[in-house]
Structures are given as C-alpha cells and as structure tokens.
Structure 1
Amino acid sequence: MLSKKKTLNFFKKQNQQLKGLNNKLCMSCEQSSVWSHVEELPPDAIFLTKTLFNKDPNPAKVNLGIGAYRTEEGNPYILKVVRKVEREILDDVKLDKEYAPICGEPQYVHACQSVIFGKDAPVLKEKRAAGAQSLSGTGALRVLCEFLKVNFANSKVYLSKPTWGNHTKILLKSHLEEGTYRYWNAKGRNLDIDGMLEDLSKARPGDIVLLHACAHNPTGVDPTLDQWKQIASLLKKNKLIPFFDTAYQGFATGDLDRDAAAIRLFEKEGFDFVVSQSFAKNMGLYSERAGCATVVSQDPKLVSACQSQLEAVIRPMYSNPPRYGAEIVKRVISSPENFKLWKEEMTYMSGRIIKMRQLLRQHLEALKTPGTWNHITDQIGMFSFTGLTGIKINTSSFFFNTASQVDVMISKHHIYMLKNGRISMAGVTTKNVEYLARAMDDVVKNVK
C-alpha cells in the first residue's frame, strides 16, 4: 500500500504529465484547426461585381451588375409612397414587436396574392390559394422548393437556359433534380420558342417547370401571349406543374396587370401551380426581404393541407418572418391612395428604363457598332442581355470567365457587369449611356 507521500507524488507526476499532454494538444490545435479541412468557396458572382466596383478608384466607373433601381444621379431610390407609409407606421402606437404567425399575417398574404391574381380574382374569392410570407423572392423559392421536395420527391425541376444563377443553387440545396429547357436564341437574340417546347415535351408527368412570369432574368425576353398559350397547352397535355417566379411585376411594362397576364392565364386554364413573389424591385424594398410563397389548388379542400406543409417547412427554417417590410407592403397595397401612388412610381421607373434602352441603341447605331442592336429595345424589364461574348478565360478575372469582351469592359472601361453579358438597365443614366455605348463599341470592334 502506497504511503500518503508517495500517493501525493504519484498524482503530482500524473498532473505534470497531463499538463504536458495538454500543452502538446494546444500546440497541435494552433498548427491544425478543426476547420482546416473547410474549403473556401468563390464569392457570389453578382455581389462580387459590387465588391470590385466599390474598390475601384476610377471616377468614371459604372456598376451595371446588381439589379437595383438607380436615379439619374446613380443613387439608390426610395419610393415616395414607401416613405409615406413608413411615417404612418412610426406614428401607429398600436403596432408592437410580437412574433408574426409562422406564415406571416394573413392580411399581408392576401394583399400579395391580390397583386398577382387581381383583387376580385375567383382563386381568392373561392379560397383556393395557400400562402406564406417569405424572405423576399429567394426565400419564397426556397420554401416552395422544400415543399415540392417533400411532396414530389422524384420530380425534376426544369430551368430555362439561361436563368438566374440562384435558381440552380436553390435546387441544389433543396436536393431537387435539375433539368433545362432552351430559351435564349443567341443567333436571333430572341426567344427560342420551338426549342423550349421541344425540350419540355420530353419532361415526365409530375415534373416541374420554373417559368419567369415577366422580365426574364437575365435575357429580358418574354413570351408573347400567344406563346404563353402554347406553353400552357403543352404543360397541361403533359401534366407538368408550373412554378412561376415573379420578381419584376410592374417593372416589365409598367403595368401590374399586364405583367401578371401569364400567371392569370394559367390560373384560368385550371392549373395547380406555385408562385414565388418579391417586392424587392417593384417597391424598392431590397433589404426588407418582403415576399410571398403561394400554392394554388383547383380544389379548395386541399388548401389547408398545403398551408400546413408550408408551415412545416418554415418553422424549423427561420420560424417566423420579419414584420416591418411586410407592414410596408400591406399598407401600400391595401390603401387605394397608396396603391395609386405606387403604380404611378412604377410607371415612372419602368419608363426611365425604357428610355435608357432607346438611348443606348441610338448611340450604338450612331457609332455603327457591328451587329444589330434592336434586341436592346425589344427586351423588357430591368436587364439587357447585350450579346457581349467571348472565348478566352482571363485567369486574373476568373469569375468573368465566359466573355473576354466582358473582361475588357471591366478592366479597361471600368463598367461592371456579369460574365454572361447581362447589364442592369436600371443603372444606366443619361450621364453614362454614351460612355457605355462607346465602351461596347470598343470591345465589339477590337476584342474577338
């Protein structure tokens, strides 16, 4: 049996050994973190343009990357009706900071859906639409993709070629299989309706087709009403599920109803479908993340089940939506006076974009820039698919790797745009449109 002294020495020695081991472990931790295997991913291409633009000291720089409306001075714009409503909210002592329902305030959801379908639409009167407030359009897309994954696990989701880059990322995170259909006719710089219909005719019953309701991103090319009817006929024949993404309602033509024509056509044709909706662009609420996810059912008895599924998706994702942006949207839409002001401002904003399209085309044609430029004015909405393309990969500008012409637009002319040649017409002004045209003229003539 060990004496007390020997026992103390034993534990003292053990303690020293443990301290030594601990020191070695700490040194090991300093040399190799548990995060050492984490791969650094490339930044988002769209927001990278903003980062590079902000770092560029050149006074002539122009940011045409991010789709956000700008004034003639190139500054962010807050709608007057939004300012008005914000003052009303500030003075409303009845408002509190309590949790909103999981799917948002029902009045907000109804207001959003009334903009899509029309105030007196049968789908609303007959209560055939489930809905949830979402974190803008991206949030609505993700919630609806999760909803579809649960209920249509084996379905493929077809995206247009090209489409908004985030669509693919959202499908990937939702574990949905992606398919594609032809959309952009690069040669004619218009819609490849025949290719689109041919590709979608190969989809299986129960597959899902994501459609841009208006102002297609990135091309700015929308189907005509007759073409929408062809698309609807094919989807109905093949029992495909429409998935509308409407992020630019009012920005395409300046008219909310005209920009919702495709969705209303599909509802009238008796489709069950889903809609992702955003107020980032048309109400200028980019940072407020105000949107709506809607599920339309021709059978009102199934709406409750769909609503419960939306709740089940949202609760473990972010639990409850923010109230401030939704309160702004609700008050703008629900008040006849505010609604009128909003439509007037949308008409002005879309009108300014149309004017910039006309000026850009005029300058390019005056410069005798090779090619045809009618597509600039034929396209609608916030974006223009310029047609600036290339073959080379510029390793110093990796994220703009599909077009050497785009690289030169950025490096030489300090005009920031996306790698696929998309520019935001909302960032074009009377002060920079000639500079933009001369830069485009330069790369078209000199960069092959």
Structure 2
Amino acid sequence: MPTLSVFTDVPLARKLEGSLLKSYKQDEDPKKMFLAYRVCMTDEGHPWISPVVNKLRLQIAQDPSLNYEYMPAMGMKSFIHASLELLLGKHSEAIVENRAGGLHTVGSTGAFQLGARFLRTWYRDARTIYITSLQKELHGFIFQDMGFMVYEYSFWDPKKLCIDHSMLLNVVEQASPSSVLVIGSIGECNLTQSQWAKLMSTMKSKQIFPFFDIPNQGLSTGDLDEDTRILQSFVSQGFEFFCSQSLSKNFGIYDEGVGILVVVALNNQHLLCVLSQLKNYTQALWLTPPTTGARIVTSILSNPALHAEWKYSLKEVVENIMLIKEKVKEKLRLLGTPGNWNHITAQTGTHSYLGLNFQQVEYLVKKKHIYIPKNSLINFTCINANNIDYITQSINEAVLSTRGPVKCLQKINDL
C-alpha cells in the first residue's frame, strides 16, 4: 500500500527578486554584471566592510575573557543602550525619561516579526498596513501572513522621473484610521518641516501608528544624526512608535543579522509592559539572539576613537556614491542619451532609480548581460571605474533601441 505524503498539495512558492541573482549566476557571458546587490560593494566587487570592523573581529576572537553563554531573551543590554543612543541621540527626551527601550533581534526581519506579532495581538483596531513597494518583499509579507491587509505606496514618480516625498502625505490623508504606516529610510524623505508637521498632525488625528525602518543609518546623507533627525520630532510630539534598526549594512557585517526593535512609549510603565510581551515572543522565535555582530557594534559605538573612524568610513562611502552618480549622469550626457538624467543625482542613498522602462531593462539583461530589477532601482556602489563605461554605453543603447524618451513603468498602487 503506497504511503500518502503530507506534502502532496504543497505548491512551489512564488519567485522572489532573488531569481534575478540566480539568472545572473547561471549566465556564462564574461561581461555579465549584477547591479542589484543589497549590500554595499567595493571597487573590487566585494561586499564593503568598515575598516574598523576587521580590527574588532580580531580583538574579539582573541579575547580570553569572553564566554559564550546564551544571551538573555532581550539580548545584550550594552548593545541595546548603544543602539538607542545612536538612533535617538544621547540626550533624547525619550531616553532621559526612560520611555524608550528595545530588544536585540535577528536583523530587521526579526524586528518586524516581533512588531507585527505585537500589533496583531494588542492593537486590535489595526487591520491595515501601508508599506513602501521596496519593503513589500522583505517585510510586507510578514504583515500579510499575520492577517493584515497590506497596501503598497512609493515615493517614485514615474511621470516626472523624480522622488516625490509629498506622496507620503497623500498616503496618510487617504489611509484608514487606526492603521499602521511603515516609514522606511527617513534620511531620504526630504519633506519640509511644514510637511512633516502636517503629516504628524494627520497621523495623530487618525491614530495611525508609525513603524519606522532604519536599515542604513549614515549611508543616506553621510550624517548619522541627519539620517534620523525626524525621529526626534515624533518623540517630542508625543508619538508612540516602533522602529526596526538594522546595523548590518552600515557596519558591513551583513551575515551577522544585527538588529534591534526600538519601542518608544508615553511612559516607563507602558514601555515595560510592551517589552515584557515582546520578550515572550522572542523566546518562541529564537530564544536568544546572536552576539558576535552585537559585540562588534557595541565596542565601536562605546569607544570614541573607533566611533569616529567608523563615521569617517561611512562618509567616504556616501561621497563615492555621489561621485559615481555624477559620472554616470555626465557620461550619458556626453553620449547624447535621450532624456534628462538629473534624477540620478537628485536621489540619495546607495540605491537609486535609473528611470528605465520595462523594454529598456529587458534590453540590458538579455542583450548586454547587465542584471537590474524591473523597476530599474540599482545599487550604485556596484558601479566603478572598471565597468562604468560599459554600463553607460549599454544604457545609451537600451534607450536608443526603444526610440523614445525615458519613462518608468513602475506601478504605484492607488490607495
């Protein structure tokens, strides 16, 4: 008698963006390039690591005083404290008033898992999540699996070929009351003070809960404080919020999954209750978080000399990105590539839109073996002196092949 499998009705999961990397690896063309890495890359084509991190790795490996006992479920206290000060500032009123805390998580995904579970259980009126299209694949499905209705929004205006941050205001104005708004990469949200004030006023009136995502503090503008300054406004305006803070990318320790879920409450009593519930979730999910990355981060942030060296390394990365973007724009201008390419240098951060349409992206992938996502959002740290000419010439060919101006066909969902 044949044995019936419990897996008979299990279908293949839908393909994620990782399938693009798989296609790249299977490509045997010697000129192939992949411009969609999530990590920062060096000119040699290797993942970027802050120079100070390598020093700390050696020190930690040779430190005889370290023991490797399990961490508490909350994680390393020193790491949580250092991360909070980095995010909110040492003199933040939330820290001074002891109403800000956090849990050491397994990267940003772990932070979103905790936050989503908590909101599903304790914020019972919240049934709707608004999240950027760029975060949908990483974190949106976490909320979706929890039973939330998830809507996407985008800052990219496909008609004007620019980042339009006023779209965030439109999302809030149309959002359902008692919903959750995920706000990512706030260092790149160039709203004016009056726009932020209007945003916060609308969120308060609708009781919209903010869930911030800070994946690369210091890699947007090159200024650690500037990249998270608006959080202070939310604190001073009396907002309670969650914030996923990832410290993998800006230190170059991608494989460590270093993260924290930050909680800002109205008072210490509320904070302690929230943290106690989150602690129970961690025991069910991973029991104890990994420590090597957290030790590296804590050692750097608590040592003024190492902290300064790390900040300088971030500034170098951002300056190099800005220079590469300028060179790409200038080379396209010299080639006479149709379209206005000012949108490349107008964007901040490691990843920016090229503003190519679907046919142009397909041309790059199939004809030139340059692998980029369908929305043409590329990692500019992947471009260097060795490949910039081939890339810009290929973009020029792709645009000319369509015989039309550059347009972006990225879909922005109506909310």
TM-score w.r.t. structure 2 length?
A: 0.92
% identical equivalent positions:
29
Aligned residue for 1:132, secondary structure, equals strand
Instruction: In structure 1, give the amino acid aligned to 2:201.
Output: S
Q: Name the counterpart of 1:435.
A: 390
Aligned residue for 1:94, secondary structure, equals coil
Alignment of 1:347-358 (within 5 A): 347-358=315-326
Identify which of 305, 310, 324 aligns with 2:278. Answer: 310
Change (3 A) 1:53 1:162: closer
Q: Name the counterpart of 1:106.
A: 77
Q: Which runs of 4+ in 1 moved over 4 A?
A: 161-164
Alignment of 1:240-389 (within 5 A): 240-389=208-357
Deviations 1:102-157 (A, max 9, x none): 11011111111111111222211221113101111121122111111111133111
Change (3 A) 1:340 1:288: same
Q: Name the counterpart of 1:425.
A: 380
Report deviation, 1:215.
5.4
- Structure 1 gap ranges (5+): 1-24, 390-402
Deviations 1:172-218 (A, max 9, x none): 122222134453221122344454323312334321111113355xx
Instruction: In structure 2, give the amino acid aligned to 1:151.
Output: W
Change (3 A) 1:193 1:340: closer
Aligned mates of 1:414, 1:229 — CA distance in 2? 46
Deviations 1:309-338 (A, max 9, x none): 111221111111011111111111111111
Instruction: In structure 2, give the amino acid aligned to 1:178.
Output: V
Deviations 1:200-257 (A, max 9, x none): 12334321111113355xxxx6434543333223222322111110001100011100
Aligned residue for 1:40, secondary structure, equals coil
TM-score w.r.t. structure 1 length?
A: 0.85
Alignment of 1:38-437 (within 5 A): 38-45=10-17, 47-155=18-126, 156-161=128-133, 163-181=135-153, 183-214=155-186, 222-389=190-357, 403-437=358-392
Instruction: In structure 2, give the amino acid aligned to 1:190.
Output: C
Which deviates the most, 264-273 or 314-323? 264-273
Aligned mates of 1:42, 1:205 — CA distance in 2? 32
Aligned residue for 1:252, secondary structure, equals coil
Deviations 1:87-110 (A, max 9, x none): 221222121111111110111111
Aligned mates of 1:283, 1:272 — CA distance in 2? 28
Aligned mates of 2:163, 2:367 — CA distance in 1? 32
Contact 1:193–1:227 (CA<8 Å) still a contact in 2?
no
Report deviation, 1:355.
1.0
Aligned residue for 2:174, secondary structure, equals coil
- Structure 2 gap ranges (5+): 404-415
Contact 1:209–1:241 (CA<8 Å) still a contact in 2?
yes
Point out the structure with max Rg over C-alpha.
1
Aligned mates of 1:76, 1:365 — CA distance in 2? 30
Aligned mates of 1:37, 1:257 — CA distance in 2? 51
Contact 1:214–1:249 (CA<8 Å) still a contact in 2?
no
Aligned mates of 2:291, 2:154 — CA distance in 1? 39
Aligned residue for 2:299, secondary structure, equals helix
Contact 2:136–2:152 (CA<8 Å) still a contact in 1?
no
Deviations 1:400-422 (A, max 9, x none): xxx23222211111111112111
Aligned mates of 1:228, 1:352 — CA distance in 2? 30
Change (3 A) 1:233 1:430: farther
Aligned residue for 1:315, secondary structure, equals helix
Aligned residue for 1:72, secondary structure, equals coil
Aligned mates of 1:230, 1:296 — CA distance in 2? 21
Aligned residue for 2:260, secondary structure, equals strand
How many residues are treated as equivalent by the alignment? 402
Aligned mates of 1:138, 1:351 — CA distance in 2? 29
Aligned mates of 2:211, 2:96 — CA distance in 1? 22
Aligned mates of 1:177, 1:130 — CA distance in 2? 28
Aligned mates of 2:166, 2:187 — CA distance in 1? 20
